[in-house]
Structure 1
Amino acid sequence: MTNRKLYLGPLTDNRRWDMVNIRPDDVFVVTPPKCGTTWMQTIVALLLSGDPEVETELSVKMPWVDIRIREMPEVADRLESMTHRRSMKSHTPMDGLPLDQHAQYICVFRHPLDAHFSYRKHVRNLPISWFEMWYPEDDTEGTTFRRFLDGGAEGFDGDAMPLAHILRHYTTAKALAQRPNVSLFHYADMTRDLAGTFDKLSRLLGTPHSPDLMAQLIRTATFDNMKDKAERFAPAGGKGFFKSDSEFFHSGTSGKWHGNLTDDELLSYDAMMDAHLTPEDREWLEYGSAGPMAA
């Protein structure tokens, strides 16, 4: 843990990374929850394999190292035994991860309000009640959004994904973005130009493919195809981890908050965003490279 910030919550523990031997060709997919993590992992799996029919099995083959569900010695041994190029997932901000000068870090972001409302749906699809305090099912008092604005970036709060956690993710990734092995992607850009996302990532990873094969890989990674084949593409799909694998891919749309927040809630959100980000950084974090006019 030397020189790394501690992110320790009831579900996650970034000290688990201490048991992973990083290889120079490893690929890290680093995101706040519900910002396109599974989508980006699938794209990485398709590019590394060059196989549109690859069985991604993300929870096993491209594991979320931080989460405590699996015993870390078993996860570390499984990663160590892999002979192919590895990819791993993390919801820990970059200042809590081991930074290798050669491994690739793919950081993905989404409009914080879209991520928040997607997370609301996500916790209803989990067969556990841990999130009830933050995300009450009958939320007549506005508890969910209040905790989204008030929560801290780490610990118990971090596991429930408040705005502070998203902002920590962005600011720590942006601080490292000058490195050639740290790249920032945006969900809105992926939605607008999936082919461009594949092309950019293929160049970063050094995984060129013929135009015909690339077109097949892109079709495999479309939202509709992944939702239609949710048992294949959802993390731990077909194993009962979610109430509904298909519901994991709920809609993939943007602007989910419109009409669902009060004027005061929006003003509070604006104040927090403006207090932590420059206008340019806020615009990118919310809308990606094309800006709000393309939203």
Structure 2
Amino acid sequence: MTEMTERQLYLGALTDNRRWDMVQIRPDDVFVVTPPKCGTTWMQTIVALLFSGDPDVETDLSVRMPWVDIRIREITEVAARLEAMTHRRSMKTHTPMDGLPMHDKAQYICVFRHPLDAHFSFRKHVRNIPIPWFNHWYPEDDTDGTAFRRFLDGGPEGFDTDAMPLAHILRHYKAARAAVRANVSLFHYADMTRDLAGTLDRLAGLLDISHPPELMDQLVQAATFGNMSRNPERYAPSGGKGFFRSDAAFFDSGTSGKWNGQLSDAELAAYDAMMDAHLTPAERAWLENGAA
């Protein structure tokens, strides 16, 4: 059963979660639900590997596991393509859980990352995509700290949605925590980095997928950052189609802590104040560091 009522509206410059009204959800669908730059493509690739059982699978994520919310493709075309799929489906979304259609059988895989790592990764990401709208939020010559100031003062929905301010990440996180149940699960980028094999095992269990141990080892190797970054035309969204200025640049470093030494004491204090105002110490510890 799908619940379509009382959903929060997320209507940004690029995305529109009302588009989900055109998609007929199936009981075995898999949603990858994340703020941007938190491991979306990584988790989609893992899902594709587990679905196929093929370490050399051609992921073609933008077509086979589409981002339903984004307006770049007509929703009638996206919905028809999804409806025509006879295999098990997965879809990507950057809409928080309170803005999605909820099906009591479909799996919702929510992935998070340290907000500052996501922010600094997003700064590089917007330089790699030919969409000038982001220049307002992320100026290339940012000598006065505009990007971080807007990261802190942006709102969770409306015009600000697609610029990924901290408030939007926090909305994502709180909505996911509130929705956790048998078919809604939380994953963390840091945990995926520390134990990729454990991530695939956990996800396989949630999706009721089983592969022999030797094949699982091959799938884990295929999902490593090294393998994905060496084959960007295969693993980047729309890889090989010219959407990004550089497919290779999509896989920047895959590391954490890239914000260290990049912010002033005042900026860090403002970030700390906002995090502590909205999260308990335990909630903040998990959002920043995962299960460690």
Is TM > 0.5 for Structure 1 vs Structure 2?
A: yes
Q: How does 1:192-211 map to 2 (within 5 A)?
A: 192-211=194-213
Corresponding residue number in structure 1 for 2:182 = 180
Give the counterpart of 2:38 among 30, 35, 57. 35
Q: 1:155: how far off? A: 1.3
**In structure 1, the residue corresponding to 2:238 is in which secondary structure?**
coil
Give CA deviations for 1:107-133 in whole Å, capped at 9, x if unaligned. 000000000000000000012211001
Aligned twin of 1:154: 157
Q: Which amino acid aligns with 2:144?
A: E
Partner amino acid, structure 1, of 2:156 = A
Report the counterpart of residue 272 of structure 1 in structure 2. Answer: 274
Aligned position for 2:113: 110
How much does 1:175 deviate? 0.4
Q: Any idea what the Cα deviations from partners look like across 1:5-26, whole Å, max 9, x if unmatched?
A: 0000110000000000000000
Two-structure CA RMSD over aligned residues (Å): 0.5
Q: Any residues of structure 2 matched to 1:132-281 within 5 Å, and which? A: 132-177=135-180, 179-281=181-283
Kindly provide the CA deviation profile for residues 219-252 of structure 1, in whole angstroms up to 9, marking residues without a partner as x.
0000010000000000000011000001000000
Cα deviations by residue, 1:126-170 (Å, 9 ceiling, x for unpaired): 122110010000011110000000000011111100000000000
Amino acid in the other structure paired with 1:105: Y
Matched ranges for 1:55-74 at <5 A: 55-74=58-77
Note if 1:289 corresponds to 2:287. no
Aligned length: 289
SS in 1 for 2:186: strand
Which amino acid is 1:106 matched to?
A: I
One-letter code aligned to 1:273: M
Instruction: Give the TM-score of the pair, scaled to structure 1.
Output: 0.97
Match of 2:84 among 81, 84, 87: 81
CA distance in 2, matches of 1:210, 1:219: 15
CA distance in structure 1 between the partners assigned to 2:223 and 2:212 by the alignment:
17
Bigger mean CA deviation after superposition, 76-85 or 49-58: 49-58
| Identity fraction in percent | 77
Secondary structure, aligned partner of 1:240:
coil
**Aligned partner of 1:16 among 5, 16, 19:** 19
Using the alignment, how far apart are the partners of 1:14 and 1:201 within structure 2?
26
5+ residue gaps, structure 1: 291-295
Offset at residue 50 of structure 1 (A):
0.7
Q: Which amino acid aligns with 1:200?
A: R
SS at 2:102 equivalent? coil
Note the C-alpha offset of 1:88: 0.1
CA distance in 2, matches of 1:234, 1:26: 22
What 5-or-longer segments of structure 2 have no aligned partner?
none
2:47 maps to 1:44: yes
Aligned partner letter, 2:288: E
Range 245-254 or range 125-134, more displaced: 125-134
**From 128, 138, 145, the counterpart of 2:131:** 128
Cα distance in 2 between the residues matched to 1:123 and 1:165: 17
Greater mean alpha carbon deviation, residues 188-197 or residues 45-54: 45-54
